[in-house]
A = this chain, B = another copy of it.
Amino acid sequence: MPAMSLAEFEALCRDEAPFCELFGFRVERFDETGAVVRLPFAPALIRPGGTIAGPALMALADFAVYAALLARIGRVPLAVTTGLTINFLRKAGAVDVLAEARLLKLGRRLAVGEVTMTAVGDDQPAAHVTATYAIPSSAVS
């Protein structure tokens, strides 16, 4: 069982995080093992070459780790990314992209997540991300 419900997580995003809405992310899995988030394709995501712009995948990965983290620690909206590294592996065409995030580490003050992103229909990943989140002290139980 996640530490908060998906409905609560979605309400948090809707109420306090207009940025989440910008890309129309859809959380497809949200539990204690991680999160899967879909980036619906939209023409506004295109970069030269007709592929999905890298920063859209960065945003997707960052959000997926946020979801995976809050699924574990509950409603701690002020958990913030302290660093993120993305490696692009293959271009993602004009289709939805799925991000699967899991935590590599969950400490009291820091969490590290890993994300694999795959364009729907591809069998090889489009990008890989590791991201570090700082957990505010007040959230430590």
Contacts and interface: CB of A to CB of B under 8 A. Distances in A.
Interface of A: 12, 16-22, 43-49, 53-56, 58-59, 62-63, 77-78, 80-91, 104-105, 109-110, 112, 114, 124-125, 128, 130, 132, 134
A59 B55 contact: yes
A82 B88 contact: yes
Contacts of A130: 85, 87, 128, 130
Q: Looking at chain A's contact residues, is the secondary structure mostly helix, strand, loop, or mixed?
A: mixed
A84 B82 contact: no
A12 B21 CA distance: 27
Nearest to A124: B105
20 contacts: A16-B48, A17-B47, A17-B53, A19-B56, A49-B77, A55-B62, A55-B63, A59-B59, A80-B91, A81-B88, A82-B87, A82-B110, A82-B132, A84-B85, A84-B86, A85-B130, A87-B130, A89-B105, A128-B130, A132-B132
